[in-house]
Amino acid sequence: MRMVPLSLLLVGILVNFTGALLPPESLKKISEEGRKYITEQFENALNGVKQMKQLMDQTGEEHQKILRTLEETKKSKEDALKQALESEQQLSETQEICNDTMLALWEECKPCLKQTCVRFYSKTCRSGSGLVGRQLEDFLNRSSPFAIWVNGERIDTLNKQNEQQHMALEDIEDGYSIVEDSVHELFQDSIKAFDHMKPLFSRPFNGFSFPQWEPFPFQRISPPVSAMRIRKQRSPLFEPFFTSNFDSLFKAAQKMMEKHRQMIQQGPRFDGMGNATDDKMVCRELRRNTGSCLKMKDKCEKCKEILAVDCSGKDTMQEKLREKFEDSVRLAEKYTKLYDDLLQRFREKMLNTTGILEDLSHQYSWVSKLANLTDSDMNGIFQVSTVSAYSSSGGAPSDTTVTVKLFDSESFTFTVPGHITMEDPKFGELVAEEALKRFKKEVM
């Protein structure tokens, strides 16, 4: 038996443990396989952006419809409120309020109402009860029993609700504009990426084309805040645009749309017993408008008796004015409730749509990051530069180390599990998939 030199035996062992670099032909083949995968993902991302644009177009049509309905409801509400105010003014100008009984009840009602409101304020708020007491006394001395007789605080409540509804609509519109602008920016950058990248792919796109974007296909119905003003307000967030994250923009829009939901649903409420849904809101309400204390009239027996006074047959004109006031207030309250319902539907629709757009953006917005790249920046779409494989002396498969470059990114180096061999037809695709994951994480 011929003896094998020890030096040759050692060389054989080292060869088994030393990595073998693939020749250029093999690297080119893997790169081509990976490029096919990247091309498919690029086209999928473009289709995803098209889907976002189409959803935004559809939402834009629904947006205009609900704005028109809101405008009509607002007009009806304001007309009813105007009639109520006219009736209230006519009642306030009436020389006598029904009869002496009501006036006597009013004199007993006022001190009880003041005491009840100030006591409630003292328990709920930190300071200022003396000022509120003086303001309320002045208000009651200037008022007449009709403020109780016709539930005059309902006008005040309606006016407060109008302010809240206006703020809520502004916030929804602000959020809508953020979403609309974000999708518009994403779509425009994706068009640039498509036009620029198209010649660089070896496989032609299957008749792929982008539709034209029309961000404002309908005339807006007096939006409370213009999109231009909104863009200026949040310009630090948008300039330069690529420093922004689409998902965070959508979350900001959602937060904005939700801002006044609880306020509209609940509003400041108090029952004269120290129970309040929001103490700060209630304290601020009473300091600004001590007339709100009229809402505590049910805590004073003499005030409640005013409501029961029957003026029928005593002063027909006053009774008619009261009926007209009540009818107008009920109508205004009806349209206020309808407006709230419309706002809620609008808000829910926009939140649902924004959630869908956020998911789509998370998957596909990476394609917009290619808008400003050039051929010289990239030196190819997907390029595998090195692949080195190692095996043990026993022949068990080991991990494969791969270095790739995707678009204009820095080179990525990672390992492929040993059970996936370089001879596997899916090897190039799996390498490209991992590289794209790392590229997305880097740019998004």
3-class SS string, 378-405: HCCCEEEEEEEEEECCCCCEEEEEEEEE
pLDDT over 50 at 100, yes or no? yes
Query: Looking at residue 11, what is its pLDDT?
Result: 28
218 domain residue, yes or no:
no
SS3 label, residue 413: strand
- CB 316, CB 322: distance < 8 Å: no
150 domain residue, yes or no:
yes
- CB 428, CB 416: distance < 8 Å: no
80 domain residue, yes or no:
yes
Contacts 24+ apart (CB under 8 A), 304-310: 305/105, 306/102, 306/105, 306/106, 306/109, 306/145, 306/148, 306/149, 307/148, 307/149, 307/151, 309/98, 309/99, 309/101, 309/102, 309/105, 309/149
Identify the sign of the CA torsion 77, 80, 86, 90: negative
Q: In angstroms, rounded to a whole number, what is the distance separating the alpha carbons of residues 54 and 408? A: 30
pLDDT over 50 at 3, yes or no? no
pLDDT tens digits, 225-239: 333 333 334 333 323
Query: Looking at residue 342, what is its pLDDT?
Result: 92
Choice between 209 and 69, residue whose per-residue pLDDT is larger: 69
Choice between 440 and 7, residue whose per-residue pLDDT is larger: 440
Domain of 364, in residue numbers = 55-184+238-369
Across the range 335-362, mean pLDDT stands at: 90
The verdict on pTM exceeding 0.85 is no
Neighbours of 375 (CB within 10 A): 12
398 domain residue, yes or no:
no
409 domain residue, yes or no:
no
149 domain residue, yes or no:
yes
312 domain residue, yes or no:
yes
Across the range 407-430, mean pLDDT stands at: 85
pLDDT over 70, % of the chain: 72
Across the range 131-160, mean pLDDT stands at: 76
Selection from 118-132, 258-272, 420-434 with the highest mean pLDDT: 420-434
The first and second tokens of residue 293, run together, are 């204390």
pLDDT over 90 at 334, yes or no? yes
Mean pLDDT score of the chain: 75
Closest residue by Cα to residue 156 from 289, 271, 325? 289
Q: How many domains does the chain have?
A: 1
437 domain residue, yes or no:
no
Q: In angstroms, rounded to a whole number, what is the distance separating the alpha carbons of residues 179 and 328? A: 39
pLDDT over 80 at 281, yes or no? no
pLDDT band at 319 (very low <50, low <70, confident <90, very high): confident
Choice between 213 and 323, residue whose per-residue pLDDT is larger: 323
